[in-house]
């Protein structure tokens, strides 16, 4: 799950996060969940000479606009399963300023949570087929997590009503599972986070539903490649901004847009913390340190002009303003002296 922080220019220092509001250079902005509103700054974007959207030989399958179905009640969690501290309050937790560092003891627990999240995600993906509802996927994910003695981290986070995020077609992220049936040709991102033995493991992947057109397949393929290129840039002492540069270069090469509004985050004992990970070109300061754990989770859209989003009335579902398809992949990683270890692998 990505993080929402207020509007800022990409060549400024990060805002101070306090009491649900952020202040920077004399400005105060009300925070909303899970998004960073980021303006493009001079010199950070290449000239727009790259191809736009699908290639000439590719045809997009016609899709009806995404509509909201009926959202069922939150599912119960057995009383013996430990809850994260935010459960029981609809107040959005602050983004922790703590840089989450793992040692030999804590990394064992962190890996266990991440491996469970990866297994749940893999099995959830097997459920994706036409006529299946996202609510059915939520129920299956919920059962897999509680059967493992873990808690589904999204459930109750700032009032989120479900145990997993399911984002279909033009939904960028944080889609709420409901009664809508998946259709042949849909793409769907499933975002799983589990809380096990006091640690969160966070991962997501975009899956195909039935027969998907070539343009959509290419979007999904390039999005995963962008995530992996961002991860490959990571190691102790490297600037965080290198992640965004690597992702942007690859996305631009293929004519896709990189969504600026949603970012990666530190993760461990706390669900969302510093560092904030920008996936587009930026001049934000900071270097990676051995032992840090955080997510890299870029969202790409079909064409570089389609990166803006609209929020549904539920306060969570973010869809592309122009209805273009969006895809996302996410891993939780551990920074080492020589590189980065992907923790969310089965």
Helix axes 241-253, 214-232, angle to 10 degrees: 150
pLDDT in tens, 76-103: 999 999 999 999 998 999 999 999 999 9
What lies within 8 Å, CB to CB, of 337 at 6+ separation is: 235, 236, 290
Mean pLDDT within 291-311: 92
Per-residue pLDDT, 280: 97
For the annotated binding site for a divalent metal cation, the residues are 191, 202, 265, 297, 330
For the annotated binding site, the residues are 174, 191, 202, 265, 272, 297, 330
Higher per-residue confidence, 60 vs 122 = 122
pTM, two decimals, is: 0.87
Q: Dihedral sign, CA of 25, 26, 27, 31?
A: positive
Would you kindly state where each structural domain of the chain is located, as residue ranges? Answer: 96-342
Q: Which long-range contacts (CB under 8 A, 24 or more apart) does 61-65 make?
A: 61/185, 61/212, 61/213, 61/216, 63/169, 63/183, 63/185, 63/186, 65/170, 65/323
Confidence grade of residue 229 (pLDDT, cut at 50, 70, 90): very high
For the annotated binding site for substrate, the residues are 174, 272
Per the structure block, which two tokens stand in for 110?
């962190």
Per-residue pLDDT, 303: 74
Q: Ramachandran region of residue 162, left (φ > 0), alpha (ψ -120 to 50) or beta?
A: beta
Q: Ramachandran region of residue 259, left (φ > 0), alpha (ψ -120 to 50) or beta?
A: beta
Query: Would you tell me which CATH number, out of the four given (3.30.9.10, 3.40.50.720, 3.90.230.10, 3.20.20.70), belongs to the domain 96-342?
Result: 3.90.230.10
Q: Residue 69: how many CA atoms within 13 Å on its side-chain side?
A: 18
Residue with tokens 């397949």: 217
Per-residue pLDDT, 38: 32
Is 131 in contact with 179 (CB distance < 8 Å)?
Answer: no
Query: Does position 74 have pLDDT exceeding 90, yes or no?
Result: yes
The three-class DSSP label of residue 333 is strand
> Could you give the residue ranges of the DSSP H alpha helices within 41-133?
106-125
pLDDT in tens, 119-156: 999 999 999 999 999 999 999 999 999 999 999 999 99
What lies within 8 Å, CB to CB, of 142 at 6+ separation is: 75, 152, 155, 163, 164
In the chain, % of residues over pLDDT 70: 83
């Amino acid at each position: 799950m990505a993080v929402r922080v207020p509007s800022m220019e990409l060549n400024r220092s990060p805002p101070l996060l306090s009491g649900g509001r952020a202040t920077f250079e004399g400005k105060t902005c009300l925070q909303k969940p899970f998004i960073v509103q980021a303006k493009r700054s001079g010199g950070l974007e290449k000239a727009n000479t790259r191809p736009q959207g699908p290639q000439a030989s590719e045809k997009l399958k016609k899709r009806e606009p995404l509509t909201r179905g009926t959202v069922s009640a939150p599912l119960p969690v057995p009383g013996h399963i430990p809850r994260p501290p935010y459960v029981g309050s609809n107040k959005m937790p602050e983004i922790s300023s703590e840089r989450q560092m793992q040692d030999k003891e804590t990394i064992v627990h962190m890996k266990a949570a991440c491996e469970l999240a990866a297994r749940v995600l893999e099995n959830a993906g097997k459920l994706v087929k036409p006529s299946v509802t996202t609510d059915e996927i939520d129920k299956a994910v919920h059962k897999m997590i509680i059967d493992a003695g873990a808690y589904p981290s999204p459930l109750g986070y700032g009032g989120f009503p479900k145990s997993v995020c399911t984002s279909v077609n033009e939904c960028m992220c944080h889609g709420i599972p409901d009664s809508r049936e998946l259709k042949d040709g849909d793409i769907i991102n499933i975002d799983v986070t589990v809380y096990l033995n006091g640690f969160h493991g966070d991962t997501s992947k975009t899956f195909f539903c039935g027969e998907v057109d070539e343009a959509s397949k290419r979007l999904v393929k390039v999005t995963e490649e962008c995530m992996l290129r961002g991860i490959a840039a990571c190691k102790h002492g490297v600037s965080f901004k290198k992640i965004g540069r690597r992702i942007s270069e690859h996305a631009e090469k293929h004519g896709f847009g990189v969504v600026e509004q949603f970012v990666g985050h530190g993760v461990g004992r706390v669900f969302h913390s510093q560092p904030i990970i920008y996936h587009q070109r930026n001049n934000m300061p900071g270097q990676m340190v051995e032992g840090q754990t955080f997510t890299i989770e870029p969202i790409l859209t079909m064409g570089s002009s389609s990166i803006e989003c609209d929020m549904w009335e539920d306060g969570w579902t973010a869809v592309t303003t122009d209805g273009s398809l969006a895809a996302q992949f996410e891993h939780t990683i551990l920074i080492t002296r020589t590189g980065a270890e992907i923790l969310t692998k089965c």
